[in-house]
Structure 1
Amino acid sequence: MTVRFGLIGCGRVAPRHAQSLLQLPETRLVAVADVKENRARRFAEEYGADAYTDYRHLLERPDIDAVSICVPSGLHAPVALDALQAGKHVLVEKPIALRLEDADRMIETAEAQKRKLGVVLQNRYNQPMQELRRLIDAGGLGPLYLGNACVRWYRPQSYYEDEWHGTWAMDGGALMNQSIHHIDALQWFMGPVRSVYAYTATLAHRMEAEDVGVAVLRFASGALGTIEGSTLTWPQNLEGSVAVFGARGSVKIGGTALNRITLWKVDGQLEQEAEILTSQRVDPPSVYGYSHREVIRDFALAVRDDRTPGTPGLEARKSLALVLAIYQSARTGQEVQLAGDEGSDLGNRQAGHPF
C-alpha cells in the first residue's frame, strides 16, 4: 500500500517533507496547499503535485490518505482537527499545538476518528539518540542523576519580522520554537518532570515572546535537570545539546541537530569511546537534521500496518506541557508542579499569552 499525502503549508520546513515523500517507496505526494497562491503553485510544480490555496479543498479529495501539516504553530490545532474530521491521518510539525486543551482535542479526535496522529520529533530517530536510548533502557548508565538541555542559537531581528515568528498567538519564543526538540529529548531520556522553576526574558530582539529562558527541573525519579534556551548568541548558533549523567556513565549529544556524540564515558565501554566519537563527525547542513524521512516513513508504515506512530500525539504533549509550565513559572515567580494531567490550570492557557 502506498500512502498518498497532501501537504499543507509550503514554507520553510515544507521541502523536507516533500523531498522525503518523493524519496520513499511507501509514500506519494498528491497535492499541496498554501494561502499564498504563487508559493503554492511554484511548490506544486517543483514536486509534481496539484496546488490549492484553501486547504479544505485539498481535504475533500478522496485520493489523499494523510496530510503533513507545516503551517505556523498557532494553526497546527485547527488545521489538524479539520483534517482528522475529514478522515485523514495527520502528521504535524512540532510543537503539536500551543495549548494543552488543543493538543488534547487533537489526540481525542484522532482516537474517535480512528486516524493516526503523529508529530515531527525527528531528532529522536538520529543514530546517536537511538544509541543513548538503548543504553538507558538497558540500564547501562545506572540510575540517572542529572540531565541538561542547552540551546545557544542566534536569530537576527529580521527573523521575527514576518507574520508570526516570536508572537504568542502563532509561535512562542526560543523555548517553544527552537528548544522544543532538546526539551523533548531531555524528558525522553530522563523521564517525567514533576516540578520546574524558571526565568524568561526578551533581551536582544523586538518581539512578544522570550529570546532567552532558563529552568531548573526536578524529575519524578528524584533526579535534577536544567534547560537553557536562547536565540541571542551572536553571531551564530553555538551549541545545541542534551547531556545525561548517571551512576555508571555520562553521555552528551550535540552537533547541528542532536546528531553527534560529543561525550561517551560509560563503565565497561570506555574502550569504545574513540570509535563512537569518530563515527559521528558529519553535521547536517541545517538544524532540521537528516531524519525527517525516517519520521515520515515510520508514520506511513503506522498507517499501512494500523499501529501507533513512533512519535504520537501523547508523546509530543509532554514537551508542550513542560514549556507551558516554564512559562507559568517565569510569569508567577513560583515553582510549578507537573503531576497527573500536567497541571489543570495549564490546559486553558495559551502559550505565554497572559505573560
Structure 2
Amino acid sequence: MKQVILDYKTGKLEVSEVPVPKIKPGNILVKTVCSVISAGTESHKVHLARKTLIGKAWNRPDQVKKVIRTFHDRGSIETLSLVKERLATPQPLGYSCSGIVLAIAQDVNDFKIGDSVACAAPHAEIVCVPRNLCVKIPYNNLPTKNNRKQINFDEAAFVTIGAIAIQSVREANVQLGEKIAVIGLGLLGQLIVQLLKASGCEVIGSDLDERRLTLASELGADITVHPNLLEKFSQQFSHGNGVDAVIITADTKSNQPLELAGKISRQKGKVIVVGRVGMKVPREIFYLKELELKVSRSYGPGRYDKEYEEKGVDYPFAYVRWTENRNMEAFLSLLTSGRLKIDRLITHRFQIHEAQKAYDLILKRSEPFLAVLLDYDFESNTKNVNGGTKLIWHEGSVRIARSNSNQIILGLIGCGNFARGVLIPKIKKLPGVKIKAVSTQSGLNARNISQKLHCDYCTTDFREILEDPDIQAVVVATRHDTHASITVQALKAEKHVFVEKPLAINIKELDLIKKTWQEVSRNSGVCLMVGFNRRFSPHAKKLYDHFYQRLAPFIMQYRINAGPLPEGHWLLDPQQGGGRIIGEICHFIDFFQFLTGLEPKVVCAQQPNDINEANRDNYLITLKFNDGSIGVISYISSGDPAMPKELVEVFSGGRSAAIYDFKKTELYANGRKKTFKTRSQDKGHKDEIAIFFNNIRDGGELPVNFDSYYHTTITSFK
C-alpha cells in the first residue's frame, strides 16, 4: 500500500510502498477514501526535519540532554550510531481521514466491516486505528430542518481537525451572546468562526490575508479586519469593554498575537492558544486585566493518554462529557445538521501518488491555499456485491528481491529502538549472516528497516517469516507480552530462536515454552537463547575467572540507578511489559545465577513506604543460594541520572571485585589490585550475538541451558 512518509534526517518527502499494517487488539483496520493535510502542523514537521543537526538540537533541548547521558554511559561511537538510527527513522505524516472499515479486532464490538468512518490516522491507503480515535459517519433519518441523510467522505475527513477546533471553543467556555475574537483565519480559524456562530456568539476575525478575511465574512463572521486594525475595531465591537475571549490560531514565531490578545480582551477575559505562536506572556497587561490563559491541547480529553487512546479505556460520560472521541462525533453531527460548511474551505486536491505536489504547494506557498485533500484509489480496491461494498485487501508483505546464499539466513521479528540501536548493528558486523526478512506491526517501520538492511522482503505478519523455508533463525525483539507466543511458534517451526528478555511474563506462558522446548529439543538441533547479555560481557568473564576456585559462599551486591520511566510507559503495564521486575530485574537475577552456577532458593523483595508514584519502582531484592551465597539487588528509580547506572560488588574467600558500569573492573586479591578497562561500555551484546550464530553454525552444547532461563524467569515472578 502507499503511505506518505518523511525522512527526519534529510527532510525528504515521498510516497512509498509499505506493507499493510497488522491489526492490533482494540483497533480497526480502515481503507482510506480521503485525508486532509494539516498545513500548519505538517509543514512544521517538514521544516524541522530539514534543519541541520544543530538546528534540530536547538528545537529539542530535552533530547540533547538524553544524548549527553548516553554519550557518558556508552561512549561516542555507540551514541553516534544511536542518534543516526533515530534520525533515520521515517515519520508518518497526517492525522485526519475518512474511509471504510476493512477488519475489526476481536475486542471491538461497536463497529462492523463496511462501516463508513472518520478517524485520526496518517496519510496511507490502509490505516490501523485505535477504537477511541475512530467514529462512524452518521446516517440521519430525523426529519429536522437542514438535516442531511449522510455527509460525504470529503467532509468527514476533516474530523480530527474539526475536533481540535471544537476543543478550543470548549476551552473558551463561550456563552450565548458573547463577543469572541479569532486571530488567524486559516483552516482552523475558519472552522472556529463557524463553531462560534453556531454557539450563538458574535465574532470578529483577523488575518493578514484579504482572501481569508472575505471567506470568514461569508461563513458568518460579523467583522473581519487586518491585525493592525483589530485593537480599534474590537473596542467598537465590544462597546469599549473588550472581547470576552480571544482564540489564537495564527502560525508565527512572533509574540504579537499574544500581545494583541491581551490588548483587546476585557477584564477577566480568556485567551486560548491553539496555533504555534510566540508564548512570551506580556505580564503587565495580563496581570492588570487578570486574564486567563489556556493552551488548548489537541482533540480534547484523552489525548496523549495511552490508557484512553491505545487501550480504549473511556472516561465516564457523567464526569468527562467531552472526550476527543466525543468531540469527533460532535463535529460530524454539526456537519450533518448543516451548521458547518466545509466545501468552501477546500482549495486543492491531489491523488495520493501526487502527495509530493501537495506538500510543494504548501511549503513553497506558490499559490493561495486553505484545505488540501488527498484522494485514494478506492474503486480499484472495491467492488459492489448485492448492493453492498466488498473490500479487497491483503495483509502481509512487500517483496523487494530474492537471493540465494549459503549464509545463515535470519528473520527479524520486531524492530524497536533496542533492536535498531543495539542488536542489528552487532548482527550486521558478523560474517556469514544474511538478514532476509523483517516483520513489524507497522508497515512503515518494516519497509524502512528492510531497505536499510537490503532484505528480500518485509511484512507485518511474522508468521510469514516462520513459514519461509529459507530462514533458519529468528531474532524476537517485540514487546514483552508477545515473546512467549512467538517463541513457541518459532520453535515448532524448527527455527533457531534468539528472544530478548523476558522469556515470558507469567507462569502459564513459561510452562508452555518449557513443554515446547522439551518436545522440540528431543527431535531437532534448534538453539534457544534469551537476551541475558551481561553474563557475556568481558567484565563478567574477568570477574568469574577471578573467583573460579572459590571455596566460600559469595556476598554479591548489584546496584542499579535505573531512573523513572514516564507515566504510561508500556513496560509498566502488567499485561504488556510485565513491570520492571519481570522486564528488567531478570537481568540481574541471571547475573547472580551465572556467578554462582546455582538457582535461587530463597527470594525476598521489599519496597520502601513511599506514596510518591515517581518512586514506585524502588526495590531491594535478596536472593539466597544453596551454597550459602547471598545476592542483593538494589534497583533504584528515584536517583540522580548523573550517577553511573550499574555497580556490581562481589566478595568471597578473601577476594573482592567490582564492575563499574561495565566500563572498568577492579579485582582485589592478596592486597593487590588489578584493573581491566574497555574503550567503551560493554554489556556483552556483541559476544552474546556472536555465540548464538556460532552455535547455529558449529553445533555443540548450548551456551546457557534452558533450566537456567527457566529459573531466572520464574524467580522474577515471585
Question: Residue 138 of structure 1 aligns to which amino acid in structure 2?
Answer: Q
**Post-superposition CA distance 1:72-108 (Å, at most 9, x none):** 1111100111111122111100121112442343243
Distance of 1:137 and 1:101 partners within structure 2: 36
2:717 corresponds to 1:324:
yes
Specify the alignment match of 1:132 in structure 2: 543
Map of 1:199-348 to 2, 5 A cutoff? Answer: 199-200=606-607, 205=613, 211-236=617-642, 238-255=644-661, 258-261=662-665, 263-267=666-670, 270-271=671-672, 273=673, 276-277=674-675, 279-280=676-677, 282-284=679-681, 289=682, 291-325=684-718
Q: Distance in 2 between matches of 1:77 and 1:170?
A: 12
Per-residue deviation at 1:143? 0.8
1:53 maps to: 460
Displacement of 1:48: 1.3
2:417 paired with 1:12: yes
Distance 2:614 2:654 in 1: 45
- Fraction of identical pairs, as percent: 22
Report the count of equivalent residues. Answer: 305
The aligned residue for residue 533 of structure 2 is: 122
| 1:308–1:76 CA distance, 2 compared to 1 (3 A) | farther
Amino acid at match of 1:148: Q
Q: Which has the larger displacement, 67-76 or 181-190?
A: 181-190
Counterparts in 2 of 1:129 and 1:9: CA distance versus 1, 3 Å: same
Correspondence for 1:153: 562
Shift of 1:290: 5.3
- One-letter amino acid matched to 2:412: L
In 1, Cα distance between the equivalents of 2:634 and 2:417? 25
Cα 1:172–1:232 change in 2 (3 A) is farther
Question: What do residues 217-243 of structure 1 show as CA deviations (whole Å, max 9, x unaligned)?
Answer: 322112333221133324456431222
After TM superposition, give the deviation of residue 156 of structure 1 in Å: 4.2
Distance 2:686 2:631 in 1: 31
- What is the CA–CA distance in structure 1 between the aligned matches of 2:535 and 2:417, rounded to whole Å? 21
CA distance in 1 between partners of 2:667 and 2:690 (Å): 29
Q: Rate the CA distance shift 1:65–1:116 in 2: closer, same or farther, 3 A.
A: same
The superposition leaves residues 301-327 of structure 1 with CA deviations (integer Å, 9 ceiling, x where unpaired) of 2122222332343322222222222xx
Q: 1:44 to 1:290 in 2, by over 3 A?
A: farther
Q: 2:595 corresponds to which residue?
A: 189
SS in 1 for 2:607: strand
> TM-score normalised to the size of structure 1?
0.78
Whether the aligned pair in 2 keeps the contact of 1:182 and 1:242 (CA below 8 Å) is: no
SS at match of 1:175: helix
Out of 107-116 and 67-76, give the one that drifted further: 107-116
Per-residue Cα deviation, 1:141-197 (whole angstroms, up to 9, x for no partner): x4124111211111342xx434x2211112233332333322211232133322122
Q: CA 1:17–1:123 in 2, change beyond 3 Å: closer, same or farther?
A: same
Matched AA of 2:563: Y
Report how far residue 205 of structure 1 moved. 4.2
> What's 1:337 paired with?
none
Distance 1:298 1:182, change over 3 A: same
Q: Compute the displacement of 1:53 (Å).
A: 0.5
Residue aligning to 2:103: none
Q: Tell me which residue corresponds to 1:2.
A: 407
Tell me, in whole angstroms, the C-alpha distance in 2 between the residues paired with 1:223 and 1:294.
Answer: 27
Q: Which amino acid aligns with 2:712?
A: S
Q: Distance in 2 between matches of 1:103 and 1:259?
A: 34
Match of 2:409, SS state, is strand
Deviation at 1:122, TM superposition (A): 1.5
Q: Distance in 2 between matches of 1:145 and 1:126?
A: 20
Structure 2: how far apart are the matches of 1:290 and 1:189? 15
CA contact (8 A) 2:593 2:708 kept: no
Q: Which 10-residue stretch deviates more, 58-67 or 213-222?
A: 213-222
Q: Which moved more, 1:31-40 or 1:302-311?
A: 302-311
Residues 30-77 of structure 1, C-alpha deviation per residue, up to 9 Å, x if partnerless? 111000111111111111112110101111111100000001111110
Following TM superposition, by how much is the alpha carbon of 1:119 offset from its aligned partner in structure 2, in angstroms?
0.9
Q: What secondary structure does 2:564 align onto?
A: coil
Q: 1:133 is matched by which residue type in structure 2?
A: Y
- Summarize the Cα distance change of 1:198–1:153 in structure 2 as closer, same or farther, 3 Å threshold: same
**Aligned residue identity for 2:701:** T
**1:3 shift after superposition:** 1.6
1:280 counterpart letter in structure 2: K
Distance (Å, rounded) in 2 between the aligned partners of 1:90 and 1:205: 37
Gaps of 5+ in 2: 1-405
Whether the 8 Å contact between 1:41 and 1:51 is mirrored in structure 2 is yes
Counterpart pick for 2:491 among 80, 84, 87: 84
Q: Is contact 1:74-1:97 (8 Å) kept?
A: yes
- More divergent stretch after superposition (88-97 vs 170-179): 170-179
CA–CA distance in 2 between the matches of 1:221 and 1:62?
Answer: 47
AA aligned to 1:265 is Y
CA RMSD between the two structures: 2.4
The answer for the alignment partner of 2:53 in structure 1 is none
8 Å CA contact 2:409, 2:473 repeated in 1 = yes
1:150 aligned partner, one-letter code: R
